[in-house]
Amino acid sequence: MSYCVNPECQSPENNPGSELCSSCGSSLLLNGRYRAIEPLGQGGMGRTFLGIDKDRLNAKCAIKQFLPQFPQGRRGAIQKAKELFEREAVQLCELGEHPQIPTLYAYFEQDKRLYLVEQAIEGQNLLEELHQEGAFGEQKIRELLLDLLPILEFIHSRHVIHRDIKPENILRSQKNSKLVLVDFGIAKQGTATALAQPGTTAGTQGYAPLEQIRAGQAYPASDLYSLGVTCIHLLSGTTPEELYNSLEGRWIWREQLAKRGGSVSSDLGNILDKMLAEMVADRYQSAREIMQDINAATQVAQSPQTVAFGAASTSIARVPPTAIYSSASFAGDRIAAELEEVRINLSQAESNLGRNNLGSQNTKLQNLAPKNQSVANKQIIEDSIEADLEALRLEYGEEH
């Protein structure tokens, strides 16, 4: 099917090979090569279509049409929207070399309308995934962070702040399950000093930090804040508005998570809390810092620990305390108990032999020899004890 992109067309669906719309007569080829085949969505700045590129063997692409939805006469708003649309094209051109950022194919004007053509990413956004599969578990959040943070490190190193990170702007590719960051329409670029200067407020309410909403300032930590909000939204299945207590001025995502029967480890919880700090200086200042903390916490959880007993020690994988009952510690306990029993018998035997009263107090020792052979008895007992000790050493591996 060919789809007419003329906003005023009453019957936009056409036959696949048509060059002109059968309803309004508009050209169905954009820039001589791109053909829209179905609408994907519409927002305040325009519409998006799934398309094909006839010059690339009809490979799929995404076609964005600039179509701002503003009342008549608001020329200033329309001009600003146009600048943002153009900015997205520039950002994609500069950042599209990253495999998890869409590649820009073309930017052009046709019939007095602007178009942006970029790589089509087939897959759901994370909000759709949340609605379909339910709240994310801790492991899935860790994987999300380790997948997205290198993308943010990449764009921040090029002095670009995305400014609109939220579940809808993160797609999971059907091709390889990797996350792709999209919608750079309000991304801000400049030196660190320029990014810190007041500017146009931007971002999505609930996800954007205060410095971005109030003063239009943006830092790498601003994107990390929005990513933190995205994480607690996906972790709890609850919108950001319900995860923040406005009266107390604090996040209550842990409480909301607990109400729904969820939990999170202290290390990941602390990482998210730091990402969500209200003051910029209290947050992580780079994506690299978060990755280091996540990896450090993972290494601690997986590191071996040493359990010592006697003269030997064994390294075992770290597991919850209730599960630590290794064969090594079990053997150590038995050795200690049986050695103690042997020592007690030896002590009792020596005492009884000294009083020449073996038969009346220790029936076990009575059978070792006649009463009139106390010296021989003691030697037999000691030999028997030494044999017991040697058997224990052989069984449990204790060294001489």
Q: Which residues are annotated as catalytic?
A: 164
Q: Quote the CA–CA distance of 59 and 54 in Å, as a whole number.
A: 7
Q: Quote the CA–CA distance of 88 and 117 in Å, as a whole number.
A: 11
Paired tokens of 41: 């969505």
Task: Say if residues 214 and 235 touch (Cβ distance below 8 Å).
Answer: no
287-302 and 266-275 helices, crossing angle to 10°:
170
Q: Is the dihedral of CA 189, 286, 124, 133 positive or negative?
A: negative
Q: Quote the CA–CA distance of 310 and 333 in Å, as a whole number.
A: 10
Torsion of CA 95, 98, 102, 105, to 10 degrees: 70
Q: Quote the CA–CA distance of 86 and 77 in Å, as a whole number.
A: 14
Task: Say if residues 315 and 325 touch (Cβ distance below 8 Å).
Answer: no
Element (H, E) at 227: helix 220-236
Q: Quote the CA–CA distance of 89 and 46 in Å, as a whole number.
A: 14
Specify which residues 47 forms β-bridges with. Answer: 42, 65
Element (H, E) at 188: strand 188-189
Reported as half-sphere exposure (CB side, CA atoms, 13 A), residue 1 has a value of: 12
